[in-house]
Structure 1
Amino acid sequence: MNVQEQIDRYISEQVPAKREDMQELHRRIRKTSPSCELWFLDGRNEDGKIVSNPNIGYGSQTIAYADGETRDFYRIGLSANTTGFSVYVMGLEDKTYLSETYGDRLGKAKVTGYCVKFRRIADIDIDVLEAMVASHIGAAP
């Protein structure tokens, strides 16, 4: 199964209300960068153990670790969770940037160092979320 098929399956497995919001979030993120690389992580580690929620990734960057190792990873992530959705902005150096730049304008969302969590699209200003994604999906590493 290719990445797009995995993404389609993941979205289709959501309950109807969450599925509609997730399809809209996926459509808007894709609109910001239609040719970006797509990722799908099923939430399992190399031993097959579930360690996180499945997530869809958009864009690409190389992450460098303290030990000198590097790996490719996505820039923006989207995941359904028990209470709603999480949108991840990876590779931020300043862990206050998201909350200071977007926090007051996003609406009813919890903003952490690299994550925006919300229940439904109706709770947030989707245009602000889309602008946040657009400004980071193609950012220089």
Structure 2
Amino acid sequence: MYVQAQITGYLSTQPAAKRSDMQTLHEMMLQLMPGCKLWFLDGKNSEGKVVSNPSIGYGERTTQYADGKTKDFYQVGLSANTAGISVYILGIADKTYLSNTYAKQIGKATVTGYCIKFKALKDISIEVLKAAVSGGVGQV
């Protein structure tokens, strides 16, 4: 329950409009990935220095590095940033999949190999975002 408390705390620190969008997205992720492992990363490294924006993670995947080491991490991430909101879909082998499949239909968003960035939910099609998350998760 500690992770859920961190997520609730993180969402509560967002400005009202972004908080509402983030809460909607959080609920959407839980519906798309029922029973998934939840993660919360505060954006700080082991020395307590801020190195990234905080993020909420959903699901679990294992990355294997060239040296044979492995690391467990979330499959889908949600993060607020100064420009808006980012949804990360990790582990898709084809780095053109998201942009080729969803960029034209999603609305006002930047779509890269693993990230969909937008200012607010009103600027995008939530149905296309759901399809992108489901499609990305289905590939891993």
Do the structures match in fold with TM over 0.5?
A: yes
Q: Distance in 2 between matches of 1:121 and 1:89?
A: 17
Q: What SS is found at the alignment partner of 2:11?
A: helix
User: Which residue does the alignment assign to 2:40?
Assistant: 40
Q: Distance in 1 between matches of 2:69 and 2:46?
A: 17
**Structure 1: unaligned runs, 5 residues or longer:** none
Equivalent residues, number: 140
Superposed CA RMSD in Å reads: 1.2
User: Which residue does the alignment assign to 1:7?
Assistant: 7
User: Which residue does the alignment assign to 2:92?
Assistant: 92
- For residues 52-91 of structure 1, what are the structure 2 equivalents within 5 Å? 52-91=52-91
| Deviation for aligned residue 1:135 | 2.7
Q: What SS is found at the alignment partner of 2:7?
A: helix
RCO (CA 8 Å, sep 6+): is it higher in 1 or 2?
A: 1
| Deviation for aligned residue 1:8 | 0.4
Q: What SS is found at the alignment partner of 1:133?
A: helix
Q: Percent identity?
A: 57
What TM-score results when the alignment is normalised by the length of structure 2?
A: 0.95
| Deviation for aligned residue 1:45 | 1.1
Q: What SS is found at the alignment partner of 1:35?
A: coil
| Deviation for aligned residue 1:12 | 0.6
Moved over 6 A (4+): none
Q: Distance in 1 between matches of 2:35 and 2:115?
A: 23
What TM-score results when the alignment is normalised by the length of structure 1?
A: 0.95
| Deviation for aligned residue 1:131 | 1.6
Q: Distance in 1 between matches of 2:15 and 2:134?
A: 27
Q: Distance in 1 between matches of 2:53 and 2:95?
A: 22
| Deviation for aligned residue 1:26 | 0.6
